[in-house]
């Protein structure tokens, strides 16, 4: 299983990320999102950030998760390389995501940026489970 | 499936039935050559927009149309106040992404020898690119003022002059802002980014007026052959992106609450008059005002740089247009004046002389319509015509329109060879990221002249001047 792949899109960035579990899929989706912005090999994990999110279903949780990474990137001025995700059922009505993100503060001498991801779109955003879990995402760049 | 039909040389119709649920037909304004560049996905998006409640006449796509999310890029649709909707999918994440054109009193011959120095200084003075922080440090209270007052705030703070305001669409501060609908997260993203250019296709360009098509109108706009102009293309930065993201979530729930059937989740919307619609509109206006203030501040720093190298030079505003926005406008519908919510996503308002919104300075002529080219190709100044009101609710294209994906561009070009090719044509480019240059190579866009010709030939807007780039500063 490949962790993620980018697909052709005329104007924006489209990717699919995979996982044997929903948590692994969300971790790989975060890696795909971040790789479109900055080369992960240039990032040294020096700090960690904790994320906790709640949503009604997995799709909403996934959307919030990716939005949160864009938000943290901009407001913390940090780049991320590791994404450890845990999912929990929170009662019968909602799901909870607990994650730890590893990365460092932006150093323009070392980090060269590829794309500015403005936002995560909901266009053709979706999750499917066949042999493995798969999420499709289009980023507005 | 119903077939697309040709109405005339520059108009194609997407009939009801092309996709299920269409309430009105689609209209795509392209020439035969550009028609071949319109992807089927783009046509599907035109058809999807036609599903939305209260849509008037047509779901439209301008000649630069290409694949977007929700609406196509280059999409225009108007919705009736009584039974229509508002959708962030028809505005985009970069609320009030727009273009500002400054004219100088300088001849290209005196600027060209110093173009390298000038571009370096502008690149230095105006923060751009990812990871860059602004020169400004505004408080939350000041940011709220920006959301309400836009360019007016900037002028009061000493960025720009009073005379600039009338030369902006909406005078640079659109009424209806509701800062209570802007989240803490949007504040957090917006605060450090005020006065930054951003990245991607945003740019600051020094240009030369290469060709004048309409001498009297050019004179009215203060343009002459051989003149130096400065074009600024950017939007509402993280503030706008976050406002759209936040309200998209609310409106995704609203479609269920109000039982609206949408063919694409990005077309999430709410009925006009509902609290969700009002709240989104109020927040969207905040982002629009932020973008006008942002371009105002950038223009001010541009003036400072020119003053350093060309003391006493004058940089006056020709105009500033929004090309990602929803506006409340009155239009004639079946012989009656109606208040409509006109969504323009990657489309420029192109009002002709009959509209009261056209600024006094250009009365009798029509508003300037600013169409940036891609990096290395011509930009155009057009003048809005009243004919556009009948055809497109007074809307024109907003640029050249992409035809090649970023990954394809990266396979074909490198930042270095794009830069070298532009240098060979006498164009100086300064950018933070080489891959960004490759992704924005001139070849990835449709020819801007072809796109503008369609608008001109349809009578939406008339060509006034062509501007060629001399130097570009990019994120």
Share of chain A above pLDDT 70, in %: 100
Q: Mean pLDDT over residues A87-100, rounded?
A: 91
CATH 3.40.50.300 fits A4-140, yes or no: no
Which is it for the CA torsion B102, B106, B108, B113, positive or negative?
Answer: negative
Interface of B with A in 168-227 (CB under 8 A): 185, 188-189, 193, 198-200
User: Looking at the complex, does the CB of residue B38 fall below 8 Å from at least one CB of chain A?
Assistant: no
Give residue B346's region: left, alpha or beta (phi > 0; psi -120 to 50).
left
Give the 3-state secondary structure of residue A84: strand
Tell me which residue has tokens 């939007």. Answer: B235
Domain ranges in chain A are 4-140
At A92, is the pLDDT very low, low, confident or very high (cuts 50, 70, 90)?
A: confident
Helix ranges, B324-461 (H): 387-392, 406-412, 415-424, 434-439, 448-458
Inter-chain CB proximity B199 and A115 less than 8 Å: yes
CATH number for the domain spanning B217: value is 3.90.1860.10
Q: Is position B376 within any domain?
A: yes
> Domain of B59?
5-403+445-474
Inter-chain CB proximity B404 and A37 less than 8 Å: no
B-chain CB neighbours of A122 within 8 Å are 69-70, 248, 252, 264-266, 268
CA distance B130 to chain A (A): 6
Mean pLDDT of chain A: 95
Q: Is position B11 within any domain?
A: yes
Write the DSSP symbol of residue B311. Answer: T
Look at residue B78 and tell me whether its pLDDT is greater than 80: yes
Indicate which residue of B173, B202, B323, B398 is catalytic: B398
Q: Is position B291 within any domain?
A: yes
**Chain A residue with the nearest C-alpha to that of B192:** A75
Q: Is position B137 within any domain?
A: yes
Give Dmax (Cα) for chain B: 64
Give the 3-state secondary structure of residue B293: helix
At B1, is the pLDDT very low, low, confident or very high (cuts 50, 70, 90)?
A: low
Is-contact B168 B101, C-beta < 8 A? no
User: Looking at the complex, does the CB of residue B74 fall below 8 Å from at least one CB of chain A?
Assistant: no
At B447, is the pLDDT very low, low, confident or very high (cuts 50, 70, 90)?
A: confident
CB-CB: which of B130, B244, B268 is closest to A116? Answer: B130
CB-CB: which of B39, B70, B193 is closest to A123? Answer: B70
Q: Mean pLDDT over residues B358-365, rounded?
A: 95
Query: In angstroms, rounded to a whole number, what is the distance separating the alpha carbons of residues B453 and B441?
Result: 22
The tally of domains found in chain B comes to: 1
Q: Is position B408 within any domain?
A: no
B398 catalytic? Reply is yes
Q: Is position B412 within any domain?
A: no
B226 alpha carbon, distance to own chain's centre: 26
User: Which element (helix H / strand E) includes A25?
Assistant: helix A22-35
Query: In angstroms, rounded to a whole number, what is the distance separating the alpha carbons of residues B388 and B460?
Result: 4
Q: Is position B426 within any domain?
A: no
Interface size between A and B, measured as CB pairs under 8 A: 107
Tell me which residue of B461, B465, B466, B467 sits closest to B383, measured CA to CA. B461
CB-CB: which of B198, B266, B405 is closest to A9? Answer: B405
Is-contact A108 A120, C-beta < 8 A? no
Inter-chain CB proximity A11 and B39 less than 8 Å: no
Query: In angstroms, rounded to a whole number, what is the distance separating the alpha carbons of residues B316 and A34?
Result: 41
> In this predicted model, what pLDDT tens digit does every residue of B184-223 receive, in sequence order?
999 999 999 999 999 888 999 999 999 999 999 999 999 9
N-term to C-term CA, chain A: 27
Which tokens in the block code for residue B278? 């009002």
CA distance A7 to chain B (A): 9
**Chain A residue with the nearest C-alpha to that of B415:** A114
A-chain CB neighbours of B68 within 8 Å are 11-12, 123
Look at residue B407 and tell me whether its pLDDT is greater than 90: no
Inter-chain CB proximity B131 and A106 less than 8 Å: yes
Q: Is position B129 within any domain?
A: yes
Look at residue B134 and tell me whether its pLDDT is greater than 80: no
Give the 3-state secondary structure of residue B242: helix
Helix ranges, B310-443 (H): 387-392, 406-412, 415-424, 434-439
At B436, is the pLDDT very low, low, confident or very high (cuts 50, 70, 90)?
A: confident
**Chain B residue with the nearest C-alpha to that of A37:** B130
Interface of B with A in 429-468 (CB under 8 A): 432-436, 439
């Amino acid at each position: 299983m490949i962790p993620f792949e980018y697909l052709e899109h005329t104007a924006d960035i489209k990717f699919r990320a995979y996982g044997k579990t929903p948590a692994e899929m969300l971790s790989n989706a975060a890696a795909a999102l971040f790789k479109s912005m900055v080369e992960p090999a240039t990032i040294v994990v020096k700090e960690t950030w904790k994320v906790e999110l709640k949503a009604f279903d997995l799709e909403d949780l996934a959307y919030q998760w990716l939005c949160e990474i864009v938000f943290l990137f901009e407001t913390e001025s940090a780049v991320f390389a590791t994404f450890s995700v845990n999912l929990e059922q929170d009662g019968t009505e909602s799901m909870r995501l607990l994650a730890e993100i590893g990365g460092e503060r932006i150093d323009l001498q070392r980090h060269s940026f590829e794309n500015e991801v403005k936002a995560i779109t909901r266009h053709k955003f979706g999750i499917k489970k066949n042999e493995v879990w798969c999420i499709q995402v289009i980023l507005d760049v | 499936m119903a077939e697309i039909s040709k109405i005339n040389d520059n108009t194609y119709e997407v009939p009801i039935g092309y996709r299920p649920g269409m309430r009105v037909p689609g209209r795509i304004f392209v020439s035969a050559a550009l028609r071949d560049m319109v992807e089927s996905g783009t046509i599907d998006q035109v058809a999807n927009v036609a599903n939305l409640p209260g849509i008037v006449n047509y779901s439209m796509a301008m000649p630069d149309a290409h694949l977007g999310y929700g609406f196509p890029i280059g999409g225009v649709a108007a919705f009736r106040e009584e039974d229509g909707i508002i959708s962030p999918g028809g505005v985009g994440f970069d609320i009030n992404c727009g273009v500002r054109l400054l004219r100088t009193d300088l001849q290209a011959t005196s600027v060209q020898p110093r173009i390298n120095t000038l571009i370096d200084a502008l690149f230095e003075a105006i923060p751009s690119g990812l990871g860059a922080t602004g020169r400004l440090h505004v408080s939350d209270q000041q940011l709220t003022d920006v959301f309400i007052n836009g360019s007016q705030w900037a002028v009061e703070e000493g960025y720009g002059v009073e005379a600039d305001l009338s030369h902006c669409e909406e005078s640079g501060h659109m009424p209806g802002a509701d800062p209570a609908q802007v989240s803490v997260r949007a504040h957090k993203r917006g605060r450090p980014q005020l006065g930054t250019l951003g990245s991607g296709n945003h740019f600051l360009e020094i240009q030369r007026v290469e060709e004048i098509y309409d001498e009297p109108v050019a004179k009215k706009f203060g343009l002459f052959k051989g003149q130096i102009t400065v074009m600024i293309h950017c939007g509402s930065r993280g503030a706008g992106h976050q406002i759209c993201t936040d309200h998209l979530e609310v409106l995704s729930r609203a479609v269920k609450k109000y039982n609206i059937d949408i063919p694409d989740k990005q077309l999430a919307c709410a009925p006009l008059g509902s609290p969700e619609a009002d709240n989104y509109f109020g927040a969207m206006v905040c982002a629009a005002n932020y973008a006008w203030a942002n371009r105002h501040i950038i223009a001010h720093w541009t003036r400072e740089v020119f003053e350093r190298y060309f003391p006493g030079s004058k940089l006056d505003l020709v105009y500033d247009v929004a090309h990602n926005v929803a506006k409340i406008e009155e239009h004639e519908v079946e012989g009656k004046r109606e208040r409509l919510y006109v969504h323009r996503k990657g489309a420029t308002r192109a009002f002709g002389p009959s509209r009261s919104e056209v600024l006094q300075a250009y009365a009798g002529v029509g508003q300037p319509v600013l169409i940036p080219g891609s990096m290395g190709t011509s930009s155009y100044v057009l003048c809005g015509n009243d004919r556009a009101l009948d055809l497109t609710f007074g809307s024109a294209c907003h640029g050249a329109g992409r035809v090649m994906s970023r990954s394809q561009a990266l396979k074909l070009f490198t930042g270095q060879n794009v830069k070298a090719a532009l240098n060979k044509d006498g164009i100086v480019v300064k950018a933070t990221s080489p891959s960004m240059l490759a992704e924005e190579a001139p070849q990835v866009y449709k020819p801007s002249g072809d796109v503008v010709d369609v608008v001109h030939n349809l009578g939406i807007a008339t060509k006034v001047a062509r501007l060629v780039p001399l130097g570009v500063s990019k994120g």
